[in-house]
Amino acid sequence: MARGKFITFEGGEGGGKSTQVKRLIAALESAGIRAISTREPGGAPASEDIRELLVSGAVDRWTPMAEVLLNYAAREIHVAKTIIPALDQGIWVISDRFADSTMAYQGYGGGIDRDRIVNIHKAVLNDFMPDLTLILDLPVEQGLARAGKRLANDASNEDRFERMGRDFHNRLREGFLAIASDDPKRCRVINAEVDADAVFAAVTDAVNDALGVTI
Ligand code: TMP
């Protein structure tokens, strides 16, 4: 049986990742490709426990290096218990965030030396990376306005990163664009300023082109 493909969505706040993940799963299923959605931090029971620690509470609750380590603890469990078993069964895995978020948020945003993050990745996961990464890009003001609306309408208090300053979010956007230009084979930047249908058209084009399917 062919191994499943691993696709990740990345980007700053308010880019509409979760909508695109759902639509991609539906399109893959209609094309006869089994697929599951997952997210980071999270995606396995113990990793969701770690998520709770990361996304709520005071902005300065953790240091950026502690955030790297907590995210990699959650990620190691997620990969071992959810992602690899699915890929081994031929199931495609679509994740809302993965390792590039650590590089962007804690590296470019939080100022952790990028080589240290690369070394931690290697120590924990060797060279395991997605087959395709779709970076939903939009201006910071627009993303934060959208994320603010979403948070006002839901009962969670997962807003710790949204509350970080404007400079942090600008560094984040630049970080994701730099990650994409460093690894153009794996990463596609998608303009998320347009409506969800237009974003999804770009997502399907990228998946078809990069992974040789027709959805
Ligand atoms: P979400 O808002 O996309 O659900 O992601 C939760 C928050 O966690 C988001 O603000 C980004 C942040 N995050 C990191 O800072 N580092 C990471 O490695 C990951 C996966 C997420």
**pTM, 2 dp:** 0.96
CB 183: neighbour CB atoms within 10 A?
Answer: 12
Token output for 98: 């993965």
**Mean pLDDT of the region 54-70:** 95
Instruction: For 136-147, write each residue's pLDDT tens digit.
Output: 999 999 999 998
Q: What is the 3-state secondary structure (H, E, C) of 64-88?
A: HHHHHHHHHHHHHHHHHHHHHHHHH
Instruction: For 76-124, write each residue's pLDDT tens digit.
Output: 999 999 999 999 999 999 999 999 999 999 999 999 999 999 999 999 9
Nearest residue (CA) to ligand 1, atom 19: 101
Pocket of ligand 1 contains residue 20 by CB under 6 Å: no
**pLDDT bracket for residue 163 (50, 70, 90):** confident
**pLDDT bracket for residue 162 (50, 70, 90):** confident
Which is it for strands 6-10 and 132-137: parallel, antiparallel or unpaired?
parallel
Helix (H, G, I), strand (E, B) or coil at 191: strand
